[in-house]
């Protein structure tokens, strides 16, 4: 087997593994999701490359929040690209009423400066945030989300992160009102965002 073939085979295994871990995290979400959002969500304070950011800073705006990590091979880029495409489908006035947030659950590798650049790559108004691991674990549970660092043997990355892939919609009063599952069509995301503006 050539080196190229071996690399392709290994990449396929990693992608298959990540897909399996994403499916498991979605099962976790479904099995831990109450009938309403009244027990989920709430305020938080995280760090950005320019200082502390609190959810209260965005009162009056609709917030679209996503938990992920920068070295995610496909799930995070797909979800963030879909959110970005949905935002860009809205007019300027509508876009200005929405604050997209990307929260990295991999603070050991994702620096605040890199998270900021990563976030604005997807949309210029998206803010990149993170915090210490203990706080992130509490915050994801607070939102009914999940993540876990999974060791990867014989990989330069060292580990990957299994995580829930959903967009969390928080209304203008800071209340979690809906979650959008992974692979939701862009047109449906647009409809959901417009419903709450």
User: What pLDDT, on the 0 to 100 scale, is given for residue 36?
Assistant: 54
CB 107 within 8 A of CB 133: yes
Taken in order of first residue, the domains within the chain and their CATH numbers are 3-196 (3.40.30.10)
User: What pLDDT, on the 0 to 100 scale, is given for residue 17?
Assistant: 43
- Least confident piece of the model among 14-23, 37-46, 108-117, 162-171: 14-23
Q: How far is residue 87 from each of residues 5, 100, 126, 191, measured CA to CA in Å? A: 39, 9, 10, 11
Greater confidence, 36 or 147? 147
pLDDT category, 169, cuts 50, 70, 90?
Answer: very high
Strands 98-104 and 127-129: parallel
CB count in 10 Å sphere of residue 22: 19
Residue 190 has pLDDT above 80, yes or no: yes
- Mean predicted confidence (pLDDT) in 79-98: 98
- Mean predicted confidence (pLDDT) in 68-91: 97
User: What pLDDT, on the 0 to 100 scale, is given for residue 153?
Assistant: 86
User: What pLDDT, on the 0 to 100 scale, is given for residue 6?
Assistant: 38
**What are the backbone angles phi and psi of residue 67, rounded to the nearest 5°?**
-95, 130
Helix (H) or strand (E) holding 192: helix 186-196
Chain segment 6-44, per-residue pLDDT in tens: 334 333 434 434 444 444 444 444 444 444 556 899 999
User: What pLDDT, on the 0 to 100 scale, is given for residue 27?
Assistant: 43
User: What pLDDT, on the 0 to 100 scale, is given for residue 5?
Assistant: 42
- Mean predicted confidence (pLDDT) in 178-191: 97
pLDDT category, 157, cuts 50, 70, 90?
Answer: confident
Greater confidence, 18 or 161? 161
User: What pLDDT, on the 0 to 100 scale, is given for residue 16?
Assistant: 39
């Amino acid at each position: 087997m050539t080196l190229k073939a071996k690399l392709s085979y290994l990449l396929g295994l990693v992608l298959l593994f990540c897909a399996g871990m994403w499916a498991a995290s979605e099962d976790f979400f479904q099995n831990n999701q109450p009938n309403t959002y009244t027990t989920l969500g709430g305020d938080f304070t995280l760090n950005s490359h320019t200082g502390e950011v609190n959810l209260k800073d965005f009162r009056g705006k609709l917030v679209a929040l996503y938990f992920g990590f920068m070295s995610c091979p496909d799930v995070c880029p797909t979800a963030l690209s879909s959110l970005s495409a949905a935002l860009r489908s809205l007019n300027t006035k509508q876009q200005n009423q929405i604050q997209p947030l990307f929260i990295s659950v991999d603070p050991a590798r994702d620096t605040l400066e890199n998270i900021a650049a990563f976030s604005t790559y997807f949309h210029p108004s998206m803010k990149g945030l993170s915090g210490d691991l203990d706080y992130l674990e509490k915050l994801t549970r607070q939102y009914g989300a999940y993540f876990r660092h999974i060791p990867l043997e014989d990989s330069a990355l060292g580990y990957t992160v299994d995580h829930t892939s959903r967009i969390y919609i928080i209304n203008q009063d800071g209340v979690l009102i809906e979650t959008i599952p992974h692979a939701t069509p862009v047109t449906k995301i647009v409809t959901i965002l417009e419903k709450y503006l």
